[in-house]
Amino acid sequence: MARSAASSIRRVASLATPLALALPVMVMAAPGARAAGMPQLDFANPLVIGQVIWGAVIFLVLYVLLSRSALPKVEAVLTSRRQTIDNDLDIARRAKAEADSAVDELHQARRTAMAEAQANVDKVIEDARLSALRQTQEMNARLAIEIHEAEARVAAARTAALGSLRQIADETAQALVRQVTGVSAPADVVARTVDHAATARGL
């Protein structure tokens, strides 16, 4: 924008110089261009020609002064403004690039954190599964031992109960034989008879 403004100023100045130089020539070349009721166009009047010439001289002087003093300052201001804008644009581009890089790093860190969190969750789940499996195996082993011990106690109690039952059966058989016959039967005979009956019944 600053560059186009400076070039526009130069273009206007370059066009104005030939026009200012050609104005007196045009005035002298058209002496009959006076309109009725418009004395300012009476180019036959020496005052009008003098005004035109002095206007052209003043214009040229002003143009020279402006081109030597004001226009360079304006161009310097425009150049400084253009440089400031270019610097600001460069700073903005660098800031945008840094922001994009920071956003990419943030996304990468987020993906890494999510992957680590998922890995930690999977590890915790696997550890919990292994711990539960280990506890289940330990519980099954303990239950198996307890069941085996309970079966041994039951077998011992059954054996003791059967032993007591044989003794009770022997004594009961002795008492029945004594009451029925009035004679005591031999103990070995009663014991064999009771054993045979118990074996036949699966006791």
Least confident of 78-87, 100-109, 168-177: 168-177
CB 82 within 8 A of CB 2: yes
Q: pLDDT by residue (tens digit) across 176-198?
A: 766 777 666 666 666 677 666 66
pLDDT band at 114 (very low <50, low <70, confident <90, very high): very high
Q: Can you give the residue ranges of every domain in the chain?
A: 2-104, 157-200
Give the predicted TM-score (pTM) of the model: 0.38
Residue 30 has pLDDT above 60, yes or no: no
The pLDDT of residue 182 is 66
Residue 29 has pLDDT above 50, yes or no: no
